[in-house]
Amino acid sequence: MTTACGNTKTIIRTWTATDECGNSTSADQKITVIDTTPPTITVPADVTIECTADESSASNGVATGADTCGTVTITESDVVTTACGNTKTIIRTWTATDECGNSTSADQKITVIDTTPPTITVPADVTIECTADESSASNGVATGADTCGTVTITESDVVTTTCGNTKTIIRTWTATDECGNSTSADQKITVIDTTPPTITVPADVTIECTADESSASNGVATGADTCGTVTITESDVVTTTCGNTKTIIRTWTATDECGNSTSADQKITVIDTTPPTITVPADVTIECTADESSASNGVATGTDTCGTVIITESDVVTTTCGNTKTIIRTWTATDECGNSTSADQKITVIDTTPPTITVPADVTIECTADESSASNGVATGTDTCGTVIITESDVVTTTCGNTKTIIRTWTATDECGNSTSADQKITVIDTTPPTITVPADVTIECTADESSASNGVATGADTCGTVTITESDVVTTACGNTKTIIRTWTATDECGNSTSADQKITVIDTTPPTITVPADVTIECTADESSASNGVATGTDTCGTVIITESDVVTTTCGNTKTIIRTWTATDECGNSTSADQKITVIDTTPPTITVPADVTIECTADESSASNGVATGADTCGTVTITKSDVVTQGDCTNSYIITRTWTATDECGNTTSADQKITVIDTTPPTITVPADVTIECTADESSASNGVATGTDTCGTVIITESDVVTTTCGNTKTIIRTWTATDECGNSTSADQKITVIDTTPPTITVPADVTIECTADESSASNGVATGADTCGTVTITESDVVTTACGNTKTIIRTWTATDECGNSTSADQKITVIDTTPPTITVPADVTIECTADESSASNGVATGTDTCGTVIITESDVVTTTCGNTKTIIRTWTATDECGNSTSADQKITVIDTTPPTITVPADVTIECTADESSASNGVATGADTCGTVTITKSDVVTQGDCTNSYIITRTWTATDECGNTTSADQIITVQDTTAPTLADGFNLNENISVTCQNIPEKPTLEFKDNCAADVTVDYTTETIQSNESSYQIIRTWTVSDGCNDAVFTQVINVQTNTITVTDGDRCIDDGPINLFDFLSGEVDINGTWSIVSGDGLTLEGSVFDPANGGVGLETYTFRYTIADGACATSVDVDVYINENCLVLPAPQPDCSRESVEISKAVTPNGDMYNETFDIKGIEFCGFEADVKIFNRWGALIYESTNYTIGEGQGDWDGAAPKSSIGNAGKVPSGTYYYIVILKNSGLAPFTGPVYLGTK
């Protein structure tokens, strides 16, 4: 043993093993005794001293120490942290060191403090304008002094706001020394405001009476103030004009928060320029006998957004056929300000009864017969309301050849366009069959074309049109596709008449078929040799189906192998045949199958031969199998461990082989035995190795053993642990045995602890150890965990005393505890938030329940809110209440603030005005007759006043009085409303006494009366105006109307007096006719009937080469052609003037022309149905087309609905877009030149030299 420092040493321990025979072996164990445990130390308690006190350890304590293994030396060292002034913190570190150099240190804290506050002097209180500088630079700075160092002066303001930006500032000045000791004092600064605000009002505006008059739409005044916000208010003075129009003077007032105010005016002119709306009665169509007045056909209604509406009407009449007409009734709605809107109602007077018609009987004719109406009859018609025009149109349905069915539609049209139609049926027929010639008989191959294209086509002819040739075959089949065809040819004309004849075609076959055999194949002997698997030959024949047959020749080789020659033969239906061969080779290439014994694992002493471990077997689809084997040995991981790979091979008779392996594994699996040392418990400083705590031993029956160890350490507290030491004995083949030894390492010494000093803090301060100090601890055997627990004694609010117990616990649960005291106090007053100042009506609730309750918060507890009022009364029940709110916390600290409640009266009184009235101009306009307004106010009595504004109406005695009633309460609030008194004159003028008007007269043109002399009167006007008009309207060719109209106005109302004179002129009936050129002289009066005055004159309108003597002409005179001549008979008498035209067609012995060619037939003629000469290049002229190349000349006449000829041409241009008439009327029957009005007209078209009957019908003209 060798000694060292303290009680440490080195021990050499010699171990000797002696067997029973005295043989011995020795070995040494070295035991080293060390000292690694540091000594313990106890330091003096922390102290707080004045900065003048002794800081040495002689005055503030000396640490002591102890050690388990020797003596201890105590040393000290200081770390100084300076603070404010001469204050500081000294951390004095004490260290205890034992004889082996182990040491422990701990700290003592010495705090040097300063607690005396400085003195302060603050500036005097001041009063300033709100625009003045509030800073201390302008209003004074406090000064201070301190006995222990320099002083810092700071300021903070508590501001109590009043009106606008005025306020009271309590400026608290604080003098703070270097160590944070402070003294405070207050200065009061009062901020006031006396300047009124500025105001900008919206521009004057003019708006519609329907527009929003409020400031939201017409602008809001803006204001500005140097010391706060501005409140804008408005009041209106209204002067009414017509309807709902008015002038509003809107006075805007800007008031600042301190009650200073400025006012300015905005003018809003309310006008009415919007015409009223009108709803007119729906357009109506009535019979000409119905009542045309508005009483029967509806009266318009009107509305206006700004007043009442007056409805008036006027008619414009356009006559049409007979007594029919179109009345455009214009309705006008006029409002109180003279704006008006008009709309039309159309009243159509019609005649709807169609005429009657009688058509010729249906006929059946040969196709060569004349189809025209000249041969097959012309329809006749009558109408109860005038003359009838007969027109015809054909719908042709063609049938066979030149046969057809003609549906001839006859139409009778009266003067108003009503028409009736009926049909005549003309049937054209044909009955003769055609002739036929067929091709000669033929014989052909079956591959040849059998069709008529190759073997001939029959031909045919027909006397009445084209012939259709058809064929049908009767086939007699023979072998294959051979046959005999009897081809029947048929010639059929267009009407179904037919003739038939036969042609014989013989089809034969002499060609053998073709054959395609399957490809040669090589197959396994086990495969199917049949043609089903190796292919079937196919054959084709040009003239039918083919039969395939086969036969085999076989040559055998080894085993089941062979060669097969397969002969295929194709035979057609007529016995022609073709043959070809296919070669099939049968082979054997498939190896045999083998089954080997299963793999085995055996002990190294077991039998390795196939007798013990199995023999392979084999099989082959084509013969017997021979089995052979061979072994390959692979050494294992240890001496007696290896693998035998035994390969087995199966060989068939053809030399095909298959091999497979069997694996035989030789192993050693017995583990060795082991003996481990006993479990031990040791100190954490002791040796944990197996040299000190024992080594295991082991044995094996099959070889040597290797001993190994491994530790699994489970740590516990500190450096303590549990070691599970696993010992393992392993033999040469890796078999092993393991066993465990347990080593327990322990620790039992508690740690040391140092706690923070006691403190006093505000209740808002952090009570946690993060702010108030954390204890520290130390342990000789590991780390220390510091925990804390508090015992709290509560006082007022959130104040309290906290005893904080600190505990130091080492990793093994050993612990030491000590206490720290924390005192929590409250010196801060609470905060308060008072309700906003309010202005309420005098009827409103003044209590805090309605006007808000102050709220308070305190950082250290709950707050109690109290209130007290100081009231200053004004007019009536109005007043100013200063409500002082006080918030007091649980420790008695309090804060107060004021709320201002202004009680006002701004509600105007209510007013009820008399209802609007409409009175005659002679009635009393005063309120005594038309009503007096009444008023009421919730806060006092009401005074009623009125003012009138008169607006002139549309006529002298018509005007509107706008009576404005105003109710004013005791506080000057007013409400106004208008009463409208409408003074009107509603009676129209009438015929003066003793004057009468015959309103409807029917006379002849020789007896038209003179204009009567009339006088008129009015009960509301001394003078009336009379407007007289006369209008002549042509009713038809034999009558017209004279309408005399007197319009009488008193300035407010119009009366219309009408006289209608129906004038009948002489009635002349014209009958146009045909004459032969050799009929001799013709008297034109023969074509007139009715009331014919023979004192008129005849003239030639159209036609060349004739001479007219009075009313007679002779067509035999030279120069007269075969054409239509038009003559005009004119009576020039003014009132009874009339004019008629007579058409005479001169023909040549009344001969009937031959039927036209197909392209020049009646069906080819196309005549315009509408003419619209508007420049768009469509339907610009009245066209005759479809016969441009027929050489015809066109004679065209166009009549209006009354039968008057308005256009005529004897050589009208034929062709699309080539027409000569575009709506012009150079020879109008009523004398109006230029374009005729839009409407339906009637034409007569004669195609000269065509043999066609005249064409007649309506055409629509649109000239607008």
Go through the chain and tell me how many residues it has. Answer: 1264
Regarding whether 842 and 796 lie in a shared domain, the answer is no
Strands 1000-1004 and 1054-1064: parallel
pLDDT tens column, 869-883: 998 877 767 789 999
Give the single-character DSSP code of 858. B
What are residue 1246's DSSP bridge partners?
A: 1195
Residue 83 within any structural domain of the chain: yes
Regarding whether 724 and 706 lie in a shared domain, the answer is yes
Is 1034 buried (19+), middle (13-18) or exposed (0-12) by CB count in 10 A?
middle
At 938, which CATH number?
Answer: 2.60.40.10
CA 307-312-318 angle, to 5 degrees, is: 150
Strands 442-445 and 546-556: unpaired
Among 667, 684, 699, where does a domain finish?
667
Distance CA 1110, CA 1117 (A): 16
Which residue in 840, 889, 895 sits closest to 863, CA to CA?
Answer: 889
Q: What spatial distance separates the first Cα and last Cα of the chain, rounded to whole Å?
A: 147
CA 1122-1126-1132 angle, to 5 degrees, is: 160
Regarding whether 1253 and 1172 lie in a shared domain, the answer is yes
CA 959-964-970 angle, to 5 degrees, is: 170
Number of helices (H), then strands (E), belonging to the chain: the values are 12, 97
Regarding whether 564 and 663 lie in a shared domain, the answer is no
Q: Residue 928: which H helix or E strand, with range?
A: helix 927-930
Q: Residue 420: which H helix or E strand, with range?
A: strand 419-429
Indicate the number of domains in the chain.
Answer: 14
Range of the domain at 405: 357-426
- Decide if 343 contacts 280 (C-beta within 8 A): yes
Regarding whether 917 and 871 lie in a shared domain, the answer is no
CB atoms closer than 10 angstroms to residue 609: 9
Q: Please report the pLDDT score of residue 516 as a whole number.
A: 95
Regarding whether 342 and 366 lie in a shared domain, the answer is no
- Decide if 1200 contacts 1141 (C-beta within 8 A): no
- Amino acid residing at 646: R
Residue 937 within any structural domain of the chain: yes
Regarding whether 1260 and 1159 lie in a shared domain, the answer is yes
* φ, ψ dihedrals at 1159, nearest 5°: -85, -5
Among 192, 222, 238, where does a domain finish?
192
* φ, ψ dihedrals at 640, nearest 5°: -95, 20
CB atoms closer than 10 angstroms to residue 131: 11
Distance CA 387, CA 1199 (A): 13
- Decide if 911 contacts 977 (C-beta within 8 A): yes
Is 32 buried (19+), middle (13-18) or exposed (0-12) by CB count in 10 A?
exposed
What are residue 831's DSSP bridge partners?
A: 857
Regarding whether 841 and 794 lie in a shared domain, the answer is no
Q: 0.75 exceeded by the pTM? A: no
Query: Which pairs count as long-range contacts for 496-500, CB under 8 Å and 24+ apart, including other chains?
Result: 496/400, 497/431, 497/432, 497/433, 497/434, 497/462, 498/433, 498/434, 499/433, 499/434, 499/435, 499/436, 499/460, 500/436
* φ, ψ dihedrals at 770, nearest 5°: -60, -35
- Amino acid residing at 757: A
Residue 1040 within any structural domain of the chain: no
Distance CA 971, CA 999 (A): 71
Regarding whether 485 and 391 lie in a shared domain, the answer is no
Regarding whether 1254 and 1163 lie in a shared domain, the answer is yes
Cα→Cα distances 167→127, 379, 522, Å: 10, 115, 122
Strands 309-319 and 325-335: antiparallel
Residue 490 within any structural domain of the chain: yes
Regarding whether 838 and 868 lie in a shared domain, the answer is yes
**Residues whose CB falls within 8 Å of the CB of residue 365, separated by 6 or more in sequence, listed in order:** 371, 376, 426, 427, 428, 429
Q: Please report the pLDDT score of residue 1149 as a whole number.
A: 57
Which residues of the chain fall below pLDDT 50?
A: 1150-1158, 1227-1233
- Decide if 285 contacts 350 (C-beta within 8 A): yes
Among 271, 288, 313, where does a domain finish?
271
Residue 259 within any structural domain of the chain: yes
Residue 145 within any structural domain of the chain: yes
Give the single-character DSSP code of 1224. B
- Amino acid residing at 433: P
CA 702 to chain centre: 91
Backbone dihedral region for residue 797 (phi beyond 0: left; psi -120 to 50: alpha; all else: beta):
left
Regarding whether 1204 and 1160 lie in a shared domain, the answer is yes
Q: Please report the pLDDT score of residue 1020 as a whole number.
A: 73
